Amino acid sequence: MSADDAVSDPAVRQNAAQLATGDRTDTLLQTDDLVKQFGGFTAADSVDFAVEEGELRCLIGPNGAGKSTLLKLVTGALEPTDGRIYYDGTDITDLAPHERVARGISMKFQVPSVYSDLSVRENVRLPVQRFATGDERARRIEAAIDAAGLAGYEDVPASALSHGQQQQLEIGMAAALDPDLLLLDEPVAGLSVEERDGIAERITRLSEEAGIAFVVIEHDTDFVGRIADEVTVLHQGEVFREGPIEAIESDPAVQRIYLGGEGDGAA
Amino acid sequence: MATASTDGALASLRTRFEGPNTVGNSRGFWVAFLVAVAGLVVYPAFGDAGQLSLFLVLALLGLSLSVVWGYAGVLSFGQVVFFGVGGYTFGVVSINHATPSGITAAVVLGVVGGGLVAALMGYFMFYGGVRDVYVTIITLVSTMVMHTFMAQTAGSEWAIGDAALGGFNGMPAIPLLALGVDEVFTLQLVRNTVELSAPLVGAVEFDLFYYFVVGVLVSTYLGLRALVNSDYGRVMVAVREDEDRTRMFGYDVKRVKLVVFTLGGALAGLSGVLYASRNIFIDPQVFGLTFATLPVIWVSVGGRTSLLGAVVATVAVEYLRVTIQGEWALVVLGVLLLVFILALPGGLVPWFEGLRERFRGNRADVPGEAPDAPTEVTDS
């Protein structure tokens, strides 16, 4: 394995140990040697990935790097072949997806699949109704519509929204769960520049005002630069580089893997 | 003020039965609904109530599939399994205890039996990770298993107490429906017309079984309307639309599917109970491929996302089937299913509702005319 592992490993072990014993740390999410194999293909290879509380982290990497797989492992949509996942002080590896949501993990899928026949308000009601009733429910629904930037569109059928507005609605619905960690899979794919600005504003505002930690999969480096504190580069199922966007962008090894070169970690 | 408070109470009652998951969320619909129920009440004076009672019993079976398939997205060919289990359970218990108490218990056990078998099958399917078309295949195979099994129960060794299962020839001499507690209160729900002497009117013909079925169907329809428009109903529809996404809103999708499948099984069981007691007979044909396909045809024609469609289409298609008779009826049904799947996949009732909304929408677009005022009255 690469030299990176030797450097990061002790920190990971310490985080995992503290999370497992319930000690307070600022680490919200920590994966420990996470492996996912599909037949002979290894989509996640001993991934040690950490997210701090309130942090805005972007996940980049070429196609097939294992970005979506990693998020699905965290939400429980996929079961890992090996390794553990720690969240907020406990081991959640064996929890069902809905139990992880109850602990504060939420995710927006790549393709928006809002309930097209329902109005914006009816859409938002679905995540909210599980834990809020009466006036509290109404208040949270309005707040979520606000957070999605869709005030004035409450009674519009979701099918009548533009693609960008549907993405906003999706983010609003995921945020309506009041999560501590929100995973977004390509929230601005196929959007115009103005729409991208809108989404970036939503994300940064939710991060600052609600203190939600984000993991955002995104290819567009301009967008990543606008929102991210930290960037993790995945390559061939492994964590390839971690650091601020400027350092990552200027890293020749990262440039090489995006151009399709070999890009071994020792570069 | 009295009328205002009555209106308020009616409006708040209405909101329970209305929402985005059913058609007919207007005052006009409820007026039409009351007219239709009144029509059912006076129908025996004009038509064959005995025949219609069969169709209405089968409408409960149609509703069970509408809930499971149309609302929770689980296409089940096995509703007839729960129907048959309900009917056979009712037969076995009621033959052995042919008193009103015993028959009442048989009704309950028939419904519970249908629900229990559905719960067992549902548990192994949904918690075993079976999804989509594989659920359809497994439920279809389950009808064949039941058909083959029940058809070979001809010998005298296949008897439970006094009730012989009767193999391919079926189980005759099932008692008529009766409800109550022996020696306290009993009610014979006979299908054949009986004479009642009422003051003023004199002798009236009264088919109590028919009215019981009408009552059960109307309450089931209203109950299911309330269910699909409740919080839980919204989750059911969310599961139908996108399971993974619903899971990400914190809902236990497997359990939702199991609960709805069990409810559908109990409802199909109730339909089977009423079927067996109406015909005083049940045979393995209820597990046959033809009968297993019928609910899918009813619900496809009426519109699977519409409870009303399931009821209307069951009655209409069954009427058609009885009128045409013989093999041609099956050919016509097959063509009907093809036509609807290809040309009108949403079914009749949602299509009609769409037309109506488009018509109203066009009218609202006409300049100078006020757009639709909100018909919704909230209870505050």
0.95 exceeded by pTM: no
* pLDDT at residue A169 is higher than 60: yes
CA–CA min distance A19, chain B (Å): 23
Structure-block tokens of residue A232: 């993790």
Q: Which residue of B has its CA nearest to A103?
A: B250
- What does the pLDDT look like over B191-228, one tens digit per residue? 665 566 556 555 556 788 999 999 999 999 999 999 99
Give just the sign of the alpha carbon dihedral B68, B74, B80, B85: negative
Q: Where are the beta strands (DSSP E) in B130-235?
A: 159-160, 163-164, 178-181, 185-188, 194-198, 202-206
Count CB neighbours of A2 within 10 A.
13
Query: A96: which chain B residues are within 8 Å (Cβ-Cβ)?
Result: 252
Contact A127/B234, CB-based, under 8 Å?
Answer: no
C-alpha span between B347 and B353 (Å, rounded): 10
Choose among A246, A176, A245, A185: nearest CA to A212: A176
What phi and psi, each to the nearest 5 degrees, are found at residue A37? -115, 135
Do strands A90-91 and A82-87 pair parallel, antiparallel, or not at all (unpaired)? antiparallel
* Helical (H) or strand (E) element with B307: helix B307-324
Asked if residue A212 lies in contact with residue A218, where contact means CB atoms within 8 angstroms, the answer is no
Asked if residue B84 lies in contact with residue B276, where contact means CB atoms within 8 angstroms, the answer is no
Query: B251: which chain A residues are within 8 Å (Cβ-Cβ)?
Result: 98, 130
- What value does the mean pLDDT take over residues A147-155? 91
Residue B92 exposed, middle or buried by CB count within 10 Å (0-12, 13-18, 19+): buried
Asked if residue A178 lies in contact with residue A105, where contact means CB atoms within 8 angstroms, the answer is no
**A98 at the B interface (CB within 8 A)?**
yes
Contact B248/A130, CB-based, under 8 Å?
Answer: no
C-alpha span between A186 and A224 (Å, rounded): 11
Instruction: Say which DSSP state B130 is in.
Output: -
Structure-block tokens of residue A69: 């797989």
Domain positions in chain B are 52-288
- What does the pLDDT look like over A82-137, one tens digit per residue? 999 999 989 999 999 999 999 999 998 877 778 888 889 999 999 999 888 889 99
Do strands A230-235 and A56-60 pair parallel, antiparallel, or not at all (unpaired)? parallel
C-alpha span between B348 and B358 (Å, rounded): 15
Question: Which among A75, A115, A131 has the least Cβ separation from residue B248?
Answer: A75
Do strands A27-38 and A82-87 pair parallel, antiparallel, or not at all (unpaired)? antiparallel
What is the overall mean pLDDT for chain B?
A: 88
Contact A115/B244, CB-based, under 8 Å?
Answer: no
Q: What residues in chain B have per-residue pLDDT under 50?
A: 1, 364-380
